[in-house]
Structure 1
């Protein structure tokens, strides 16, 4: 099943390279991807898909396409106003860092280190966190962290390993710890976002930006936690992050509907019209693969996670993929920002990326681009 799904995905991505040209897919509308000029937080996922396809097929066309995206990320770096957020890790881990991992290209390594330095500038010493959105001093966003940032921290951990500069690692750990303490609730669910006084660092309270309510559990946020804390454990060896990933994974799997693919928010009213978010389940599948890789054979939770992985991936392939269809996207029924009215129930480029990352890891063992192999 996995190899057939990968083959179908690779051919779709090959066609998309021609159709998209130099532009980047974001989310879709009416079944067609909306394209941009590399000015959104999602553009690294297209680059990551191309690198995955190149490594899987050894087809030079995918390599050339991936390298072109890295050159575009080099151009983007000169225009830092479109990098004024914490998602620099999403952008450069899957583009230039991927090129470094695959080809050991020194210019790609240097670009990735520059990106890590830019992310480091979002550290706010007075508050003790990496500011998610907006410039320093922003009255609205100045005290906000969000759970997504866990997936940006591998860029800092990697930079620390590459340079020997402990500041990268220290700040990544402080951010992971603040996320664990304030965004993960006592019942193992999560807030999407949390606010602090930007001057004193005093906690103000949890909230949401894309979830159903401030106190609900936005499923994609929970998914970032599952994968992000597993990656924090990979880099630090601190078992508190492994246990946090396990707790969040159990919560996610426990609250899935019968077909094992997440609704957009675990607390949203369930009706026949409630949106799914297949991208959240794809992220968790990739995260479970990372998590399982850190568990001993005798771990009592290992079998549960392995079964959850099989159930979710089987359902994604059979019920949500576009296998055999003339489609641009790989996964149907993703949700971007339901309350904001942005592309519910359509293709999401990050859903496609994590779906293919999980498939290829299950088939070949390729772990992707979050850390050196």
Structure 2
């Protein structure tokens, strides 16, 4: 490969933690374009958790955002309709993964198991976001095999929203969003498919796999414009499956290119290829990824909508960058050509470098990992804030990079 990766392990000392001991890892990942100190960015995350976790003691709530003029997390009730509850325990599981510190495992268990009842949610598609970062990572990273039945029940709840006439999982109910009258599917829903793929492998029930693949195929057909950018919302006729309307609820306009929507697509189709090994999904993942990369500014962090990006006053969305950085690290291992491997890997490194820089890091400023995300400016909220899911995909990316470099 044209770039060199220097990954040096020094067993300098064992750092004593309250519940664990771990070796100090000094790591540098570099090429001719950029470099990151991976261990520093991991240490920064742990430092932020050491500040935030003692403040987050109410198990009936979870951290959602930090406003631009605040330093501490705003917590919201663990309500069945709030899609972000799984990200905080997911962050703790990844913190345990990258540090080996038992403290984070214990915190993750405590924060995961408070919403076991959410496994029966059938009101919306977000059960995947809510359960898999928490229980899925607990099963995979924490070895909590007792979570299997909870995850399988969650997958059954999600699968119950599949409409075979349409070929997708219904995202929202009409009561939640009365603007749309029939079957609604949003691009975000692609990430919930991971729960179904997991359930298929751990139950030997192919219906989960079949639903996930059909949803991905239908979304690939209907959700993307000719220029390979994504709409946010597709309204289908629930009987014949015809497309009735295409919208973008959280972007600048219905026909604009909402950056996190494109990020969900990049992550979603990379994951679908990972689970299916069907080359059509890899080809499509590359196409929409290349489009996303072509639209990025120099610092690799997009504005909240690509159609307003030329205005420097428009807010950034670090959450989109974190989602794509994590996806690119996987994608770089799936593509065949060395050129594409390097290109996607280098792009991920540059994104992580930017996110860990003074411009986006919350170290010394707030309790999160990252600043400058935008949830839904078009709806008038979560504008230029810290967001819990930005932190989740950021630490997931750091975990993926650490594991990738360890293999090399």
Alignment TM-score > 0.5, same fold: yes
Does the aligned pair in 2 maintain the 1:278–1:320 contact within 8 Å? Answer: no
Give the match for residue 129 of structure 2: 90
Q: Tell me the TM-score normalised to structure 1 length.
A: 0.92
Provide, for residues 187-240 of structure 1, a one-character-per-residue CA deviation record: whole Å limited to 9, x for no partner.
Answer: 111111111111221112321110111111110010011111011001111111
Partner residue in 2 for 1:48: 90
SS in 2 for 1:302: helix
Counterpart-to-counterpart distance in 2, 1:264 and 1:156: 29
Superposition pairs of residues 319-358 of structure 1, within 5 angstroms: 319-322=358-361, 324-358=363-397
Measured on the aligned residues, the alpha-carbon RMSD in Å equals 2.1
Partner in structure 2 of residue 209 of structure 1: 249
Q: Decide which of 121, 129, 144 is 2:168's aligned counterpart.
A: 129
- Judging changes above 3 Å, is the alpha-carbon distance between structure 1 residues 323 and 276 closer, same or farther for their aligned structure 2 residues? closer
The question of 1:72 aligning with 2:114 is answered yes
Per-residue deviation at 1:278? 0.8
Give the Cα–Cα distance (whole angstroms) in 2 for the partners of residues 137 and 19 of structure 1.
32
Conservation of the 8 A alpha-carbon contact between 2:127 and 2:154: yes
User: Aligned partners of 1:366 and 1:163: how far apart in 2?
Assistant: 32
Contact 1:157-1:168 within 8 A present in 2 as well:
yes
Query: In the TM superposition, what whole-angstrom CA distance separates every residue of 1:2-58 from its partner, at most 9, and x where no partner exists?
Result: 211110111211322211112311122233321022222011111111001112222
Structural mapping, 1:226-245, within 5 Å: 226-245=266-285
Q: Which moved more, 1:298-307 or 1:308-317?
A: 298-307
Q: How has the CA–CA distance of structure 1 residues 266 and 137 changed in structure 2, closer, same or farther, with 3 Å as cutoff? A: closer
Q: Tell me which of 330, 338, 345 is aligned to 1:290.
A: 330
> Aligned equivalents of 1:244 and 1:73: distance in 2?
35
- Which whole-Å CA distance do the structure 2 matches of 1:299 and 1:8 have between them? 32
What pairs with 1:1-373 in structure 2 (closer than 5 Å)? 1-21=37-57, 22=59, 23-29=61-67, 30-31=69-70, 32-39=72-79, 40-77=82-119, 80=121, 84-134=123-173, 140=180, 142-268=182-308, 270-296=310-336, 298-322=337-361, 324-365=363-404
Deviates more, 1:111-120 or 1:324-333: 324-333
Task: Give, in angstroms, the shift of residue 323 of structure 1.
Answer: 5.5
Contact 1:5 1:323 in 2 (8 A): no
CA distance in 2, matches of 1:293, 1:26: 32
Point out the structure with max Rg over C-alpha.
2
Tell me, in whole angstroms, the C-alpha distance in 2 between the residues paired with 1:303 and 1:102.
Answer: 28
How many angstroms does 1:136 deviate by?
A: 9.5
Deviations 1:131-185 (A, max 9, x none): 0012799863531111111110010011011111111000000100011111122
Counterpart contact for 2:302–2:309, Cα < 8 Å: no
* Structure 2 residue matching 1:282: 3-state secondary structure: helix
CA–CA separation in structure 2 for the residues paired with 1:109 and 1:248 = 33
Q: 1:138 to 1:167 in 2, by over 3 A?
A: farther
Contact 2:119 2:151 in 1 (8 A): no
Separation in 1, partners of 2:370, 2:309? 23
**Superposition deviation, residue 111 in structure 1:** 0.5
Distance apart, 1:112 and its partner CA: 0.7
Cα distance in 2 for residues equivalent to 1:85 and 1:320: 36
1:370 corresponds in structure 2 to none
TM-score (norm 2): 0.84
Unaligned runs of 5+ in 2: 1-36
Residues 230 and 241 of structure 1 are in contact (CA less than 8 Å); yes or no, is this contact kept in structure 2? yes
**Deviates most, 45-54 or 96-105:** 96-105
What 5-or-longer segments of structure 1 have no aligned partner? 368-373
Change (3 A) 1:58 1:306: closer
Q: Report if aligned partners of 2:86, 2:134 keep a CA contact under 8 Å in 1.
A: yes
Shift in Å, 1:64: 1.4
How many residue pairs were aligned?
Answer: 363
